[in-house]
Structure 1
Amino acid sequence: MTPNDAQLTDALRLLRTRGFEPAGNRAGTRSFEGDLPCRGGNVRVRLSITDWDFLRYPSIIVLDGTDGFPPLVPHLTAEGWLCYFAAGSVVLDRYNPAEALAQCLDQAKLVLEQIRFDADYRRGDIQDEFMVHWLNGQSTAIWDVLIGTVAPGATCTNYWLVDINGVPTALIADSEKEVAAFAGALGASAPEKTTCPCWLFQTDVLPVVPDVMPSTVKALFAWLKAWDKGISNGVQRILEKEPRYLEYKQATFAVKTPIGWLGFGFDLDQIQRLGAIKKPRLYKQHLHGKGGTRGIMRLSISEFGPAFVHSRNLTFKDLSGRQIKVVGCGAIGSYVALSLVRLGAGANGGKLMLIDPDKLKPENIGRHVLGYPALFKSKATALRDELVRQFPFSTIDASPTDVRGVPALFSADLVIDATGEESVSEFLNARRIAEATKTPLLHAWIKGNGQTVQTLWVQGSKGGCFRCLRLADHKNYREERFKVLKEDPVRRLIGCTGFTPYGVAAPMHAATLATETILDWLQRDSPSPRFRTRSIASADVFEVKNQDLTRLAACPACGTNDVAIPAVR
């Protein structure tokens, strides 16, 4: 948007009133310079507007007036860029640019005063954004490193080198298989294992905020001691007793902290290190003497392993390490499987099995995760291949066969019936009861033409089974116990094939409802309410209450002599 003449006039008047003068217009950017009247002295800033829609906040660069500021401050880069609003925290009025600019200047003034006078504010905000300050503070040597899975309690692992888009990239991980899978997913070269070590530590203590970020070996040692004596002592022990670090040009260390991985290292003096290989304590003494003036490098460590990917957005355990089986890889099953792998299914020793005897046909594509490249292929196999392409660390098996031929089906932590076919659901229900398994079975299906989706969690002998959703007496044979549709769904015939049309939103809704049940199981160890119903906003349907399904006394699958409990709507 370009402000109209009246809006622009108001904005320019506001800036003039506050003492700001034009400082040039370049490539769609209008800049102004002036003083912010801050407590403790004026601060000279440049305000630049590139986006009058205010999707991006105007930039503010501090030019002068920070002599009284501490050396390490939050929200202000070494180049003077001031972060005064967190991204998305404030919506500026595009129809009133004068008011929007006033908000920006007022907030910048407030932040600058807090930086100057409020020590608690400085410490708290630096702690919150510690990694940003660690990587940018008083150092030009930043080394990008990726880290995968390392064994809990490991004290050392080796680097791998991978060429990613022509850029040599260092990776830290225990497993060659994991590194190779990661490289393959990016279309990168095969990994090359090095013998160069990276020493590992872990702490539950937040990094201590120093007055100035350490930039030399001596300052690094002092900061580690102030932060965590366990790490400090561990680093000193390596320098004194581990000759292997002296075989290379650098020594590097990585610490797993509550805010992520923090890494550092330093180059080794080539003459001093060779003379100390048999007595590494000599090099330690060198580092505490003249060698302590050597500058350090900082490792910018990004995690790529499955434990990080699948657990980052959760506040509870994921599906890693569990055995999960999905029966049906059609519309519902494809979206369910997509959610499961994102929750960690198949990772860290777990396995996800996909079961479906059918092939993907043209009529399936309009409501399926897979597209034309999978046409006429086994649904289970093609879905497995696509999921492995996206999540190369996951163990996913495909069983392109009828579920009746799958042995030990309930030898799993969870079985999901995503077929949406009542006859298959009845079979799975009967098999579960006959085997008296304690493995939970989650059914998910679509009602009508996608107006409603439902899920049912059944486990052990508690509560009703899938067949309990149908009345069992002869007068009401197979009548729905919880009627939801007011009208019969539209059915279509093509040749001798009949089908129920519904859009892609319906299987997505069913998969979402199933995923929510699984999340409750993971978070609370309880999938209650076990029977769930959700309808789209425009659906003219009966309301069915979410509830824990009770048994029907006359249920031919699980019935008892108990008195039947009437349906609840």
Structure 2
Amino acid sequence: MVESLCYNDFEQYQLLAHDLGAAALRVLDDATETLNRISNPASIVQDSQRDFARLWPSDFSATYIDTLPADANVLECRTALWKNAAGDQTLLVGRDPSDIARRLGIPVTEIRPNWAAMVFPQEGLGLSMTALGPPNNLHEVKHWLGAVAPRTHNLWHRAVQRRTHYERAVQYCFFVTQGQVIGYFADHPPKHRRARSAKQTREAYVESVYDHPLSIVRLHASRIDDQYLVERNLSHGDPDLRGLRVLLIGAGAVGGFLACSLLKLGAGLPSPSGTPGPLTICDREILTTANIGRHVLGLTSVGKSKAREVCRHLSELWPGCDVHPIAEEFVPSAELLHGYDVVVDATGYETYSRFLSKLCRSSGWLNAGKAVLHLWIEGRGAVVRGLIQRRPADACYDCLWNYATTTEPRPRFPAYSDPAWTQHSGDGYATMTPFAISSPMAAAALGIDLLRTRTDLRSPSFVSRAVDAAGVHAGVNKSPDRISKCPGCHRS
């Protein structure tokens, strides 16, 4: 046995403990894979973009940008600087840098307005690096853009020859590429900023780009716009909730975690076109110490309205989100329903779920583009279940029960076989069902998965997941048929 050290093209060393023959074969396989990748043009572009962040470092501790071009035109923004106690500088770029400061928890009074900035739209597959490496001055920026992004180069070339480029001291330029925003800062001398005539502007351009190329400070910006924050972790084609009017009924154990997840999916945020998307949270109850063990809120919210405190919590997570609490008794009506696009029932009360499901049907609210989601926990937290109704043809909440028996309705899809899972216990003053915090978290995750696939009518409308497998039937993952003579959807 020998030890052989080999190197692969991902800059990772691997220690191989094999005989010489096996080690040699492994090296040949790695070499073959590397040659195949080198011969593939797509791989070259991918490698270049993968290394972009490393090859384009930023001299600022952090740069945040919240506004990108919506079309093929150059977007003009403002910038502001913030310096922390350690002296690290943070650059804020957008239409209103003070709004970025508020979202990041930076005191607005501590930011200092800086020069204007230009943001250039994304081009094709995105920017990549040339064999010459990253540019160090404006002359190299011009040649780099001309080589990797001709359309962006033309936009940049026209923009830096405008008189306003020097009058407004536009010294920041940013370029949108795949998943990232890179840019530079160039410090124009005072005589360039005094350029007024076309001749003076032309002279400033020639001097700064050709005769005495200005050095640049490279910048790497992190996107902080709603579109990026919401869409980055979604699969391609999955819908989000931006611009939709969402109603969440219930802010208890399930509703609290679900509210946070709905926000991350876009609820409470405007659509890309600017359409408002308010998130309304209803719950009349007060948070007690008995709730703390499995609720998203903490001790500082005890004795306060669950709905109001959850909304406050969301505003801290995502400053500027559009959330509204309803802390009193909420009885939905046909008129109220038509003010929402998505309704989520996280009450966990069977009677209420039956009532809401029937109302969504009888009012005609459940049509194209509307959806009602029911979430609940069964047994002692062993199973979480969700039912989404996306069209009148879907099974309603009552369709999950069998009414053929002469006694009370029985579940068509029972979740558990062990009667112990239905037992309750007392905590001194009230009857409660004990379960760990993992159960409401799992229910919230299930709800997001159902909403994320709500436009795919092939996806199951009824999903059941086991949190504890003891005494629990196998999970359900299907779209149930509607039952005849259903009291909820009146199918005869």
* TM-score with structure 1 setting the length: 0.73
Q: Please, which moves more after superposition, 334-343 or 474-483?
A: 474-483
What is aligned with 2:432? Answer: 499
1:537: how far off? Answer: 4.8
1:437: how far off? Answer: 0.5
What is aligned with 1:48? Answer: none
What does 1:151-166 align with in structure 2 at a 5 Å threshold?
152-153=70-71, 155-165=75-85
Q: 1:127 to 1:450 in 2, by over 3 A?
A: same
Q: 1:133 to 1:168 in 2, by over 3 A?
A: closer
What is aligned with 2:263? Answer: 341
- Equivalent of 1:378 in 289, 305, 325: 305
Is 1:312 the counterpart of 2:312 in the alignment? Answer: no
1:459: how far off? Answer: 3.3
Aligned partner letter, 1:271: K
Q: Distance in 2 between matches of 1:380 and 1:197?
A: 41
Aligned partner letter, 1:212: L
Q: Is the 8 A contact 2:253 2:296 kept in 1?
A: yes
Q: Is the 8 A contact 1:446 1:452 kept in 2?
A: yes
Aligned partner letter, 2:438: A
Q: Please, which moves more after superposition, 427-436 or 329-338?
A: 427-436
Q: Is the 8 A contact 2:465 2:476 kept in 1?
A: no
Higher RCO (C-alpha under 8 Å, 6+ residues apart): 2
What does 1:398-413 align with in structure 2 at a 5 Å threshold?
398-404=325-331, 408-413=336-341
* TM-score with structure 2 setting the length: 0.83
Q: Distance in 1 between matches of 2:434 and 2:121?
A: 57
- Equivalent of 1:171 in 71, 84, 92: 92
* SS of alignment partner, residue 181 of structure 2: strand
Aligned partner letter, 1:325: L
Q: Is the 8 A contact 1:147 1:172 kept in 2?
A: yes
What is aligned with 1:51? Answer: none
Q: Distance in 2 between matches of 1:507 and 1:254?
A: 43
What is aligned with 2:273? Answer: none
Aligned partner letter, 2:358: A
What does 1:336-485 align with in structure 2 at a 5 Å threshold?
336-348=258-270, 349-404=276-331, 408-438=336-366, 439-473=370-404, 475-485=406-416
**Structure 1: runs of 5 or more not aligned:** 1-9, 19-35, 39-59, 61-73, 76-82, 562-569
Q: Is the 8 A contact 1:346 1:394 kept in 2?
A: yes
What is aligned with 2:453? Answer: 520
Q: Is the 8 A contact 2:388 2:462 kept in 1?
A: yes
1:327: how far off? Answer: 0.6
What is aligned with 1:291? Answer: 212
Q: Is the 8 A contact 1:160 1:191 kept in 2?
A: yes
- Equivalent of 2:175 in 255, 258, 269: 255
Q: Distance in 2 between matches of 1:371 and 1:178?
A: 28
1:372: how far off? Answer: 0.8
What is aligned with 1:221? Answer: 142
- Equivalent of 1:231 in 149, 152, 171: 152
Aligned partner letter, 1:431: L
What does 1:480-559 align with in structure 2 at a 5 Å threshold?
480-488=411-419, 489-494=422-427, 497-521=430-454, 525-526=456-457, 528-543=459-474, 545-559=476-490
Aligned partner letter, 1:229: P
Aligned partner letter, 2:379: G
Q: Distance in 2 between matches of 1:463 and 1:405?
A: 21
Q: Distance in 1 between matches of 2:256 and 2:389?
A: 21
Q: Distance in 2 between matches of 1:193 and 1:424?
A: 53
Q: Distance in 1 between matches of 2:94 and 2:153?
A: 23
Q: 1:546 to 1:280 in 2, by over 3 A?
A: same
1:163: how far off? Answer: 4.0
Q: Distance in 1 between matches of 2:348 and 2:300?
A: 24
Q: Distance in 2 between matches of 1:177 and 1:273?
A: 26
Aligned partner letter, 2:66: G
Q: Is the 8 A contact 1:252 1:266 kept in 2?
A: yes
Larger Cα Rg: Structure 1 or Structure 2? 1
1:340: how far off? Answer: 1.2
Q: 1:216 to 1:396 in 2, by over 3 A?
A: same
Is 1:148 the counterpart of 2:66 in the alignment? Answer: yes
Q: Distance in 1 between matches of 2:167 and 2:437?
A: 60
**Deviations 1:188-214 (CA, angstroms, capped at 9, x unpaired):** 755444452334333224324312122
Q: Percent identity?
A: 23
**Deviations 1:296-322 (CA, angstroms, capped at 9, x unpaired):** 221111112222111111233422222
Q: Distance in 1 between matches of 2:209 and 2:418?
A: 83
Q: Is the 8 A contact 1:203 1:255 kept in 2?
A: no
* SS of alignment partner, residue 514 of structure 1: helix
Q: Distance in 2 between matches of 1:347 and 1:332?
A: 21
* SS of alignment partner, residue 468 of structure 1: helix
**Deviations 1:243-277 (CA, angstroms, capped at 9, x unpaired):** 243443x6221111124212123221333442456
1:120: how far off? Answer: 6.7
Q: Distance in 2 between matches of 1:288 and 1:508?
A: 57
Aligned residue pairs: how many?
A: 466
Q: Distance in 1 between matches of 2:291 and 2:212?
A: 68
Aligned partner letter, 1:434: S
Aligned partner letter, 1:358: E
Q: Is the 8 A contact 1:158 1:174 kept in 2?
A: yes
What does 1:119-158 align with in structure 2 at a 5 Å threshold?
123-124=44-45, 126-136=47-57, 144-150=62-68, 152-153=70-71, 155-158=75-78
Aligned partner letter, 2:375: A
Q: Is the 8 A contact 1:426 1:466 kept in 2?
A: yes
Q: Distance in 2 between matches of 1:469 and 1:328?
A: 21
Q: Distance in 2 between matches of 1:351 and 1:418?
A: 18
Q: Please, which moves more after superposition, 427-436 or 400-409?
A: 400-409
* SS of alignment partner, residue 404 of structure 1: coil
* Aligned Cα root-mean-square deviation (Å): 3.5
- Equivalent of 2:185 in 249, 261, 265: 265
Q: Please, which moves more after superposition, 485-494 or 224-233?
A: 485-494
Aligned partner letter, 1:484: A
What does 1:50-89 align with in structure 2 at a 5 Å threshold?
83-84=11-12
1:125: how far off? Answer: 6.2
Q: 1:322 to 1:467 in 2, by over 3 A?
A: same
1:365: how far off? Answer: 0.9
Q: Please, which moves more after superposition, 343-352 or 439-448?
A: 343-352
- Equivalent of 1:331 in 245, 249, 253: 253
Q: 1:540 to 1:159 in 2, by over 3 A?
A: same
1:151: how far off? Answer: 5.3
**Deviations 1:448-505 (CA, angstroms, capped at 9, x unpaired):** 1112121111234213211222233460332222223224311123566322222212
Q: Is the 8 A contact 1:482 1:544 kept in 2?
A: no
What is aligned with 1:303? Answer: 223
- Equivalent of 2:131 in 199, 211, 218: 211
1:379: how far off? Answer: 0.7
